[in-house]
């Protein structure tokens, strides 16, 4: 609604005393192609005129999407050329309101600035995810980059951070500093490790800290990992801290309590926690049915735990279950 209000503000009625008001829409922030000429107040609207009326455009209907405006707005067209997904932008009306007030000349510098860190192919998805970066002041953005440089992030690391976390530059240096400090203190990391973590999973740094604390609780208290093991997990698979706690615990429960996989093995292959539980479950039950569920590397017929999580079913059957894929499919229809 805010968008409509804004648009109605910029709709100016060309003053005629006619009963049918002619309206002129100076769309968005672009300048009209020529100055509005007031049509000399003729008594009848139907009188023919020799004046140029091409600047008199029809009244724009109210709309809920940007597609209605895109053909008339060079600004929006330029965003499309940059591969920005406008259909995703329009889902957030407050964002659209701010974006439409911009002029392409204003944001040129922003785009060139971002392009220093982000590949051209990824620029579109970057701006789709965080269009509001175009409203930030350029000085602020530079300060935030300088902050990273002052913390001895290499140029390569900085571009990786900016590219993988579109929201990083929205955070003020104080907030980023606080958050880096939080991770350093909470997990007892050294300077290099903090830099490594921020580069490996930049989204974790700006993630909801409440979520991170609860996940730490799940991993430490409910799953029972030790302090140094947690640190290893964090540096190895930081995405664990961004997972849903319930799903994480459910997967761990299945792997640890049902499959009897000890913590030490799990620490070597934490990526199995990313695998959807139904996938692991069905492969595990199949191996068990075949009598091949043997996950101890010291005994014969060893099946690595990663085999349950990775690869296609065909590979799994060939390599570890040693059977035909159709047998596996028949088995799946008995679950």
Partner 1 sequence: MVNFRNAAAAYKSLNGLICVYKPPCVPIKQVQHTIKTNLCRDLNELPDRPREQRVEIVGATNEPMTVKLVPNYADDPLVCGPRYIHEDIRCSWATHLGLFSSGVLLLGINEGTKLTYLINTSRLTRAYKIQGQFGKATDTYFWNGKTVERAAYGHVTREKIDAVVAHMQAAHQKAMYELSGLHMESQATYEMASEGLIRPANSKLPVIYGIKCVHFESPNFTLEVQAVNEYDKYLWTLVHDLGMQLRTSAHCTGVQCIRQGKFDLDVALLRKHWQLEHIVDNMDRCRRILEEHQNLMKPESARLSM
Structure token pair of residue 33: 């192609």
Nearest CB to partner 1, comparing residues 268 and 323? 323
Listed in sequence order, the DSSP H helices in the chain are: 2-10, 67-70, 74-81, 86-89, 93-100, 104-115, 120-129, 138-150, 155-164, 173-187, 191-200, 202-205, 209-217, 227-236, 245-253, 263-268, 277-290, 313-316, 325-332
Task: Give the shortest CB-79-to-partner 1 separation in angstroms.
Answer: 9
Report helix, strand or coil for 160.
Answer: helix
**49, 39 Cβ separation under 8 angstroms:** yes
Nearer to partner 1, 138 or 314 (CB): 314
Angle at 194 between CA 172 and CA 128, to 5 degrees: 45
Nearer to partner 1, 89 or 145 (CB): 89
Does 62 participate in binding partner 1 (rule CB under 8 A)? no
Mask for 254-293, x = binds partner 1 (CB under 8 A) = ------------------------x---------------
If binding is defined by CB under 8 A, does position 51 make contact with partner 1?
A: yes
Q: Determine if 65 is a binding residue for partner 1 (CB under 8 A).
A: yes
Specify the residue for token string 């069905």.
Answer: 282
Whether the CB-CB separation of 244 and 212 falls below 8 Å is answered with no
The Cβ of residue 114 has, within 10 Å, a number of other Cβ atoms equal to 22
Answer yes or no whether residue 335 interacts with partner 1 by CB under 8 A. yes
d(CA 44, CA 223): 82
Q: Does 134 bind partner 1 (CB under 8 A)?
A: no
Single out the segment in contact with partner 1 by CB under 8 A; choices: 46-54, 137-145, 176-184, 214-222.
46-54
Confirm or reject binding of residue 87 to partner 1 (CB under 8 A): yes
Minimum distance of partner 1 from residue 153's CB (angstroms): 33
User: Any contact of residue 40 with partner 1 (CB under 8 A)?
Assistant: no
Q: How far is the CB of 127 from partner 1 (least distance, A)?
A: 11
Chosen residue from 11, 70, 209, 268 binding partner 1 by CB under 8 A: 70
Torsion sign across C-alpha atoms 101, 104, 106, 109: positive
Q: Which is nearer to partner 1, 49 or 257 (CB)?
A: 49
Longest alpha-carbon distance in the chain: 100
> CB-wise, 4 or 332, nearer to partner 1?
332
Site membership for partner 1, residue 334 (CB under 8 A): yes
| Residue 74 · residue 116 · CB < 8 Å | no
- If one asks whether residue 57 binds partner 1 (CB under 8 A), the answer comes out as no
- Among 19, 71, 137, 208, which residue interacts with partner 1 (rule: CB under 8 A)? 71
Residue 188 binds partner 1, judged by CB under 8 A: no
> How many of the chain's residues bind partner 1 (CB under 8 A)?
26
Residue 16 CA to residue 63 CA, distance in Å, equals 26
Residue 53 as a binder of partner 1 (CB under 8 A): the answer is yes
Q: What residue ranges bind partner 1 (CB under 8 A)?
A: 50-54, 65-68, 70-71, 76-77, 80, 83-87, 278, 313, 329, 332-335
């Amino acid at each position: 609604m805010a968008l409509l209000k804004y648009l109605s503000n910029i709709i100016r009625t060309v003053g005629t005393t006619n009963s049918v008001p002619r309206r002129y829409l100076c769309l968005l922030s672009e300048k009209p192609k020529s100055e509005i000429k007031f049509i000399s107040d003729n008594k009848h609207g139907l009188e023919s005129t020799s004046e140029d009326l091409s600047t008199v455009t029809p009244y724009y209907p109210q709309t809920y999407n940007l597609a209605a405006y895109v053909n008339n707005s060079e600004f929006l067209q330029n965003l499309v050329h940059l591969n920005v997904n406008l259909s995703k932008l329009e889902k957030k009306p407050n964002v659209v309101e701010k974006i439409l007030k911009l002029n392409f000349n204003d944001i040129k510098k922003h785009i060139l600035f971002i392009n220093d860190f982000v590949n051209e192919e990824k620029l579109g998805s970057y701006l789709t995810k965080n269009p509001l970066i175009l409203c930030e002041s350029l000085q602020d953005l530079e300060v935030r980059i300088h902050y990273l440089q002052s913390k001895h992030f290499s140029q390569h690391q900085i571009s990786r951070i900016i590219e993988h976390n579109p929201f990083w530059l929205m955070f003020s240096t104080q907030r980023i500093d606080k958050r880096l400090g939080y991770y350093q203190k909470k997990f007892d990391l050294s300077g290099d490790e903090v830099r490594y973590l921020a580069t490996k999973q930049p989204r974790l740094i700006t993630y909801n800290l409440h979520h991170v604390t609860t996940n730490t609780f799940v991993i430490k208290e409910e799953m029972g990992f030790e302090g140094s093991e947690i640190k290893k997990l964090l540096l190895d698979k930081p995405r664990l801290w961004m997972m849903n706690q319930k799903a994480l615990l459910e997967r761990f429960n299945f792997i640890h309590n049902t499959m009897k996989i000890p913590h030490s093995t799990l620490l070597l292959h934490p990526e199995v926690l990313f695998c959807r539980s139904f996938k692991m479950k069905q492969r595990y039950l199949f191996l068990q049915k075949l009598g091949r569920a043997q996950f101890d590397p010291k005994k014969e017929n060893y099946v690595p735990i990663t085999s349950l999580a990775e690869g296609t079913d065909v590979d799994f059957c060939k390599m570890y279950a040693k059977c035909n894929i159709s047998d596996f499919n028949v088995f799946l229809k008995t679950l």
